[in-house]
Structure 1
């Protein structure tokens, strides 16, 4: 079974969704036959390459009055999945370069390396307050995930992968992906949002049995309020 997960490093619900989907996989017989691929998506392509406090950017976009409640809810949900969200340290920064390294991980090192790097980048962004656009830090994260240091350094010094990543992002929008995370099963069924692990498990079983006609998107696409982050 092929599962493609459209997500952004700057999306907290993508972090939650990754953890929940992995729990579902752990409970799914035949999980070793499932190929999971992370596809790029930019919630805000206009985010500058220079980092700035995430809290300030979110307050400007969604309103400071709503921010504390949103962050508190995410902190509670994250804690339930073993995730520590620290929005006081998180830095808003353009994620295109990080997506390029994820593309490299998949293309040359395989899905397992890509998944490990995805997890590392999400932790760096939301827990550690790291600049995920910084080439030196990206190199370290990639090496921790099993990528070759020299290859990553050379890759980041070039424009390699830029066109491919931008094309994948454009294709996602053409497919109708407007919020992340979006999980696409076998190229046919789409589930949107950080669903509970039990829901993901049910979808996996339905796809396996080829009995599901469709998987309806969840959430209303309102900012980052209901299990997904919208543009």
Structure 2
């Protein structure tokens, strides 16, 4: 089974949804037969880090929501994250553009480290309050999951993997993704949002059952029509 996940490293529900899917997979009998591939998506392609301005202020200005209301909303999100064993530090979080982080993630995926880099980047942003647009930060984090620092540095100084990131975003638009996280199972079933683990469990069972059920052909012979046919015991010839 193949699961494609469109997400962004600064999307709070993407981390929550990721953990809920993983929890469902842990309870799934055939989890070893599942491949998860992370796809790039940007919630705010124009995002820019402004030194001296905290996350609450930035979010308030971008969304036109009063500062107090922003803090209440993020506190509620933090509680949902905590229920999944995640720690969100909104007080020190640094708003940033994630395009370069996605480029590094594409390189990591090519080397078989897509799952590791995704988890590391999400944890770095939400828990450690790292600046995900800073190249030195991305190089350091990539090295922690086994990538070569110099190779990552060269990628960030070039246009490498830009097209791969843009292709993911284009495909997202084509298949109707309007928000993330967005999960696609076997290129056939879609689940949007950070659904409860129980929902993911139901989807896993349904997709697995369909993928592995025996295919039985439906007869299109006209009703009440006799015909001639052969079996391994001989041929039954009907008179015309």
Which of 84, 87, 100 lines up with 1:84 in the alignment?
87
- TM superposition score normalised by structure 1: 0.86
Partners in 2 of 1:157 and 1:49 — Cα distance? 19
Counterpart residue number, 2:236: none
Gaps in structure 1 of 5+ consecutive residues:
212-231
Q: What's the counterpart of residue 148 of structure 1?
A: 148
42-51 vs 152-161, greater mean Cα deviation: 42-51
Taking only aligned residues, the RMSD between alpha carbons, in angstroms, comes to: 1.5
The aligned residue for residue 106 of structure 1 is: 109
Secondary structure (helix, strand or coil) at the match of 1:21 reads helix
Partner secondary structure for residue 160 of structure 1:
coil
Q: Deviations over 1:119-158 (max 9, x none)?
A: 1111111111111111111011111122222321221221
- The Cα shift of 1:65 comes to 4.1
Q: How many residues align?
A: 208
Equivalent in the alignment of 1:226: none
Higher-Rg structure is: 2
Q: State the partner residue of 1:48.
A: 48
* Counterpart in the other structure of 1:138: 138
The CA deviation at 1:49 is: 5.7
- CA distance in structure 2 between the partners assigned to 1:179 and 1:45 by the alignment: 13
Aligned to 2:58: 57
Q: Note if 1:96 corresponds to 2:95.
A: no
1:218 alignment partner in structure 2: none
Could you say which residue in structure 1 is the equivalent of 2:75?
Answer: 72
